[in-house]
Amino acid sequence: MRSRSLFDFVVLGFVWGSAYSLIAVALEGMTPLQVAQVRTMGGAVVLLIVLFVSSAERNALSLTPKFLVAMLGSGLISTAAPYLLISWGETKAPSAIAGMLGATTPIFTAIMAPILLKERLGFRRGVGVAIGLGGMLLIFHPWQGSARGDVVAELAVVVAAALYGLSFIYLKRFVYPIGASTKAIAAGQIVMASLVLLCIHPTGPAVLFRAGIRVDSAILTLGILQTGFAAVLSVRLVKSVTASVSSSVTYLIALVSVFEGFVFQHQSLGVIFFVGGAVTMIGLVIASTGEESTRRMGIRRSRATTAS
């Protein structure tokens, strides 16, 4: 990995990993819907600036009905719904648990890809998925009689992670074939998500004027850095490294969210959480390496077929 790619990888992991503790702070003075609204609006502003600063991007942008419909679907799946679910989930679930569960996106991508993209799961990838799901069950530990509200909140974060996984498949099937630039796609889905969330409660973002400096600082940072700036870094990282390397940023996100929740939010985390987190990470690693080996096997089979 080149030095710039390594820089992007580390910064992206810390920026995205810090999002969960910032959401917890923002929720001190905002509703989950308002957190999602202001976050997407901040990200939309950053991405629109990045998009229109480049004359080449401006000239290439084509707001066709097909592109707008695709962006609406992508915005709902990859941004509006997950942001709302995670924000609501953190009203009851600690940010450390939310961060660990939110990092399970590769597991859900591995589950859905064979169904929706007809990709081969592979033995190693299947084992990784099974181990990862087992780790998630340990994090939930329903046998210890956790409050139902807490379990439902944690499930909301898991659904958000599944939607993130679905969004990658949606992009591959319906968005990338359109031929739009990655910056246009990133900006388009965030803008559409912010418009959808604004339609639910148009005056929601006005909370910024009365939420206080602490809450405003958290939500503006969340919008500008964790949503807008991170999207730019993510696009650059995906372009410069392999998919397996870029997806491994998930591990750093989980570690950062747990560290910040423990140190800055003073969250009490039981031994079973750390055991479950470790098992989940092992599953993620196995699933990721399994994905790479499955891809190489597919390439070899394709070459063999061509040669014959």
Whether residue 149 has pLDDT greater than 60: no
Q: What is the mean pLDDT of residues 104-116?
A: 83
* Per-residue confidence band for 297, with pLDDT thresholds at 50, 70 and 90: very low
Whether residue 243 has pLDDT greater than 60: no
CA distance 196 to 138: 35
Retrieve residue 303's tokens: 């070459």
Whether residue 110 has pLDDT greater than 50: yes
Q: What is the pTM of this model?
A: 0.84
CA distance 116 to 109: 10
pLDDT at 306: 39
1 vs 88, more confident? 88
Torsion sign, CA atoms 174, 176, 180, 185: positive
Torsion sign, CA atoms 238, 243, 247, 248: negative
Whether residue 295 has pLDDT greater than 60: no
126 vs 30, more confident? 30
Beta strand residue intervals within the chain, DSSP E: none
| 47-82 pLDDT, tens digit each | 999 888 887 777 778 889 999 999 999 999 999 999
The single-letter DSSP state of residue 268 is: -
Whether residue 40 has pLDDT greater than 90: yes
| 192-237 pLDDT, tens digit each | 999 999 999 999 999 999 999 999 999 999 999 999 998 888 877 7
Whether residue 302 has pLDDT greater than 50: no
The residue ranges of every structural domain in the chain are 3-307
pLDDT at 227: 93
pLDDT at 308: 40
Contact between 164 and 105 under an 8 Å Cβ cutoff? The reply is: yes
CA distance 191 to 74: 11
| 247-275 pLDDT, tens digit each | 667 778 888 888 888 888 888 777 888 88
**Percent of the chain residues past pLDDT 90, beyond the cut:** 36
CA distance 49 to 29: 28
